[in-house]
Amino acid sequence: MRTLQRRPAKIRPPRRPAPANTSLSEPAFPPVVSPANPTILLVDNDPAVLEGLRRVLQSEGWKVFSAAGGEDALEYLQAHRPDLMITDLSMAAVSGWDLLFHENLQRPALPIFVITALPLTSIGGADRFAHEFFQKPIDLDALLSAVRRYIGAPRGAVAPI
């Protein structure tokens, strides 16, 4: 049985001003065009959470790369460009906060989801950098729905009825 837990309303990133050569009727952000095989970078120092989420996401058809901490994630990000990053906040050495700040500077268009055991009221400031927040235990249906919204369904996946 999947964990059913309510989460706060979706926090949206601030809108960037539209480029000068576009009309006001055009959106400032183009719609998300999902790649043929979207990839997800999953970062958590808890092996049980990392393995459980990896299995769930892979069973849905996404390509998932796991990093056991912030250092591994930064190493992966130097060589690859995932379509989505899901990270815990509380990790030793390089934390999820460090990853949020780093990737916001390097790739501001990268959607980043935060998973945390901390109360969502205690993560002030992260809403400027993260696109979605999930408190542990994670509501898997909400997570999967958010992943589909941001990067689309994997190629060959059947749409839910």
Q: Which tens digit of pLDDT belongs to each residue from 12-55?
A: 444 444 344 333 333 333 334 445 679 999 999 899 999 999 99
Average pLDDT, rounded, for the chain: 75
Position 60 pLDDT exceeds 80: yes
pLDDT at 24: 36
pLDDT at 124: 62
Question: Omega before 154 cis (within 30°)?
Answer: no
B/e letters for 69-92, b = 16+ CB within 10 Å, e = fewer, are bbebbbebbeeeebbbbbbbbebe
Mean pLDDT of 115-134: 72
Question: What element of type H or E holds 90?
Answer: none
Quick one: pLDDT band at residue 66, thresholds 50, 70, 90? very high
Position 141 pLDDT exceeds 80: yes
Mean pLDDT of 61-76: 90
Quick check: 53 and 42 in contact, CB under 8 A?
yes
CA angle, residues 50, 137, 116, in degrees to nearest 5: 70
Mean pLDDT of 54-74: 92
**Residues written for the chain:** 161
User: Which residue ranges make up each domain of the chain?
Assistant: 39-151
Q: What is the CATH code for 39-151?
A: 3.40.50.2300
